[in-house]
Amino acid sequence: MIDRVLQSTIEQNMFQGKAIVLVGPRQTGKTTLLNMIAKKQSQPVLFWNCDEPETRNFLTNTNTSELKLAIGGYKIVIIDEAQNINNIGLTLKLIIDNFKDVQILATGSSSFDLRNSLNEPLTGRKWEYQLFPISSSELIASKGLLEEKRLLESRLIYGSYPDIIMQQKNAKELLLNLAGSYLYKDILSLGDIRKPVILDELLIALALQTGSEVSYNELAKTVQVDTKTIEKYIDLLEKCYVIFRLHAYSRNLRNELKKSRKIYFYDTGIRNAILQNFAPVSLRQDIGALWKNFFIAERIKRNHYNQHHARIYFWRTVQQQEIDFIEESDGQITAFEIKWSENRKVKFPASFTSAYSIKDTFVVTPSNYLEHL
């Protein structure tokens, strides 16, 4: 087993009168993590799997009396796949308000449906965390620094989902299966998607444009739909933890791009599976984009797990001056240039460094990337 950074954070917040909600992509180990935490508490555990119709019906139409009978003497209740329950927030509120000594642990794989039904009923009543594919820091703690450096190419090609880490020999087959079921199950069921083929074509287009500025108009022409459909699908893909967007940073300079965006994948293995391209690094034409995607996704994991709340951007001007990745926190900026080649000389544009309050600038390469994760 690989220890997850969130485990100690969640354990510290147990039995404080709040639900603990763990969201994130399918197959990242949410249920496994909560079961491990529950077992360490030496308390009886009630497990509700909301993929089961009977459980869904009960938790959708329940009341305090029925919950009292169902919970009985259990002190920990795990509600797995909570996004399947209509108005789950009201049910959790009912448990929290009426069973003060019971700890609720809930998982959900679709943020847009789960969060919409949680936020208002559970205001002030929940801790919410996001679990990603296994992070570099978690792998270093498990396998050691030198081993993780040695496996960098494997991480770039196959990503870091738990099943992939544990079964490297079957990585291609597992990823292709994961990309299909994981990408579509929540999106198709909750997003009212009537034409999966459009989603396929859009994902391929996004994978090919990783690290480049994305035009919704151009995507619409490529996929042969209108821009509103593109916007809807991209929003759903982001809320289901398939992709994330970086917007252009713009505050002072007139020549800055203001409405541009770039799109990256939370896991490079999923991105490569969409393209069905598992070629080694030495044969890839897209290694620069793949490397940027990998580092930025790892940096997002690192910030979330360390509760470092930073807004993330890229920066570019009409003159093609560019910075790959920017974090803004408390009014200060940390800027990263992310280069696969160790020999490229990098200079941060003076127009950027003189215009903003810069805390740090870093050039990230394969030789030093772990220092920033």
DSSP annotation string for 327-343? EEETTEEEEEEE-S-SS
Q: What is the pLDDT of residue 186?
A: 66
Q: What is the pLDDT of residue 84?
A: 86
Distance from chain centroid for Cα 331:
25
d(CA 250, CA 337): 17
Q: What is the pLDDT of residue 127?
A: 92
Which residues lie below 8 Å from residue 341, measured CB to CB, with a gap of 6+? 365
Q: What is the pLDDT of residue 337?
A: 97
Between strands 322-329 and 311-316, the pairing is antiparallel
Q: What is the mean pLDDT of residues 161-182?
A: 90
Q: What is the pLDDT of residue 193?
A: 67
Q: Residue 33's closest CA among 102, 132, 122?
A: 132
The two tokens of residue 200 are 């396929």
d(CA 203, CA 236): 12
pLDDT at 2 over 70: yes
Q: What is the mean pLDDT of residues 40-52?
A: 90
Q: What is the mean pLDDT of residues 311-326?
A: 93
pLDDT, tens only, 253-293: 888 888 889 999 999 999 999 999 999 999 999 999 999 99
Residues 290/284, Cβ–Cβ less than 8 Å: yes
Q: What is the pLDDT of residue 276?
A: 95
Q: What is the pLDDT of residue 133?
A: 96
Q: How far is CA 78 from CA 10, 20, 109, in A?
A: 13, 10, 15
Least confident segment among 59-68, 104-113, 212-221, 364-373: 104-113
Q: What is the pLDDT of residue 256?
A: 80
Q: What is the mean pLDDT of residues 343-361?
A: 91
Residues 138/2, Cβ–Cβ less than 8 Å: yes
pLDDT at 74 over 70: yes
pTM of the model: 0.92
pLDDT, tens only, 211-237: 999 999 999 999 999 999 899 889 888
Residue whose pair of structure tokens reads 């009978």 in the numeric block: 69
d(CA 236, CA 298): 22
Q: What is the mean pLDDT of residues 334-360?
A: 92
Least confident segment among 184-188, 222-226, 245-249: 184-188
DSSP 180: H
102 phi and psi, to 5 degrees? Answer: -105, 130
Q: Residue 191's closest CA among 111, 81, 80, 79?
A: 111
Q: What is the pLDDT of residue 97?
A: 92
Q: What is the mean pLDDT of residues 294-316?
A: 95
d(CA 349, CA 319): 11
Element (H, E) at 271: helix 268-275
Banded model confidence at residue 191, pLDDT cuts 50, 70, 90: low
Report the mean per-residue pLDDT for the chain: 91
Helix 268-275, helix 171-190: angle, nearest 10? 90
d(CA 179, CA 188): 14
pLDDT at 160 over 60: yes
The CATH class that applies to domain 6-130 reads alpha beta
Banded model confidence at residue 239, pLDDT cuts 50, 70, 90: confident
How many alpha carbons fall within 13 Å on the CB side of residue 52?
9
Best CATH choice for the domain 136-372 from the list 3.40.120.10, 2.60.120.330, 1.10.10.10, 2.40.30.20 = 1.10.10.10
Q: What is the pLDDT of residue 329?
A: 93
Q: What is the pLDDT of residue 285?
A: 94
Q: What is the pLDDT of residue 189?
A: 65
CB atoms within 10 A of CB 232: 15
Least confident segment among 7-11, 126-130, 196-200, 322-326: 196-200
CB atoms within 10 A of CB 243: 20
The two tokens of residue 36 are 């491990």
pLDDT, tens only, 93-137: 999 999 999 999 999 877 666 766 777 888 889 999 999 999 999
